[in-house]
């Protein structure tokens, strides 16, 4: 039977460790749980807030809603052919656990996204990515339930409208669906992406000339641990800002003015700039402001040093955004969802 809790503290349900309260809170462990909730008076009368791992979230105020925590588990092989295996994962599975499952079973395609915090169900919303790989590269379809009428709908890749840290679920369908599962089309034959220098450098350090997908995963885990603080020890949500996309002409001018600026080709007409580098050049790396600050090893990561409020962290983010714009005339946008 569902237990709906009142005035629930969300401190342990967001990786920033911010203390805010939800009017109501419930955990969903199956589709039948959700369908039962759909008939509940609280569900029908309150607004809804879907919560996964809370790793891409900054809570600046109490949540005047019914918070629905997705805990649907299970990983199953749906079908396979000569080249691919189709794996369906419950939306409440921890993303990194799913990556390790694929790596251990030699299913290739997401090893570069090892150790990204959050859940499988939240991954398509953000179109998560790391080290040259994005979720959309292996995504097949997802199943979701409409919060409006309780109908189950299947979204294919095109319908998700994936972009750089974007999807239909962050735009026109925002807050309208409860994702129950995600199916991936994984590769039986690896097509390894070691284009990022940090990965190739790590492999060289261990004299690995013909890497396996586990070698790639292990390298990414080592890199992320060396650069990013553990949210269990220091509250954060990973990269706070997206790498800004600019026209190639602008990127060329900035590179001429600032030769050490990392620039990455994005499309035929645009490039991505390294947001962390831009922030560091403005003097924020390692700077502490009250209970928050920019991390000493990675300027892109904003942290909670113990008792920060969401508003404190957001105020810092705005100051950083403003200083980057003033110095480079480039606007960096938050990657996290700010509530």
Residues annotated as part of the active site? 165, 239, 335
Residues 6+ apart with CB under 8 A from 45: none
CB atoms within 10 A of CB 298: 23
Residue 161: enclosing H or E segment and its boundaries?
Answer: none
Which segments of 46-84 does DSSP mark as H helices, in order? Answer: none
Query: Long-range contacts of range 95-99, CB-CB < 8 Å, 24 or more positions apart?
Result: 95/53, 95/119, 95/120, 95/122, 95/123, 95/128, 99/217
The label of the residue with tokens 């569902």 reads: 2
Which segments of the chain does DSSP mark as H helices, in order? Answer: 31-38, 41-45, 95-104, 123-126, 157-160, 197-205, 213-227, 248-257, 275-281, 310-328
Q: Are β-strands 57-58 and 139-146 bridged in parallel, bridged antiparallel, or unpaired? A: unpaired
* CA-wise closest residue to 181 among 135, 138, 122: 122
Residue 285: enclosing H or E segment and its boundaries?
Answer: none
């Amino acid at each position: 039977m569902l237990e709906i809790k009142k005035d629930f503290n969300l401190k342990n349900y967001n990786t920033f460790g911010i203390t805010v309260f939800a009017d109501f809170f419930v955990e969903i462990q199956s589709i039948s749980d959700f369908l039962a909730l759909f008939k509940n008076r609280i569900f029908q009368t309150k607004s809804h807030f879907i919560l996964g791992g809370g790793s891409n979230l900054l809570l600046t105020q109490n949540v005047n809603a019914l918070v629905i925590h997705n805990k649907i588990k299970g990983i199953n092989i749906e079908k396979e052919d000569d080249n691919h295996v189709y794996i369906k994962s419950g939306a409440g599975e921890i993303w990194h656990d799913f990556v390790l499952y694929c790596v251990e079973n030699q299913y290739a395609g997401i090893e570069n996204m090892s150790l990204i915090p959050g859940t499988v169900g939240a991954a398509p919303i953000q179109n998560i990515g790391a080290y040259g790989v994005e979720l959309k590269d292996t995504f097949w379809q997802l199943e979701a339930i409409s919060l409006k009428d309780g109908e189950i709908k299947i979204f294919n890749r095109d319908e998700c409208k994936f972009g750089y840290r974007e999807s239909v679920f962050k735009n026109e369908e925002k807050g309208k669906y409860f994702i129950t599962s995600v199916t991936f089309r994984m590769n039986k034959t690896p097509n390894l992406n070691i284009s990022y220098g940090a990965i190739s450098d790590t492999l060289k350090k261990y004299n690995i000339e013909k890497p396996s997908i586990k070698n790639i995963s292990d390298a990414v885990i080592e890199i992320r641990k060396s650069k990013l603080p553990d949210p269990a020890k220091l509250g954060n949500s990973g990269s706070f800002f997206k790498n800004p996309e600019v026209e190639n002409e602008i990127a060329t001018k900035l590179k001429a003015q600032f030769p050490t600026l990392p620039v990455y080709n994005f499309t035929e007409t645009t490039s991505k700039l390294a947001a962390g580098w831009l922030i560091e050049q403005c003097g924020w790396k390692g700077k502490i402001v009250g209970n928050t600050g920019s991390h000493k090893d990675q300027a892109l990561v904003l942290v909670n040093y113990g008792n920060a409020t969401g508003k404190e962290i957001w105020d810092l983010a705005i100051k950083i955004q403003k200083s980057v714009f003033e110095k480079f005339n480039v606007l960096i946008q938050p990657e996290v969802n700010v509530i």
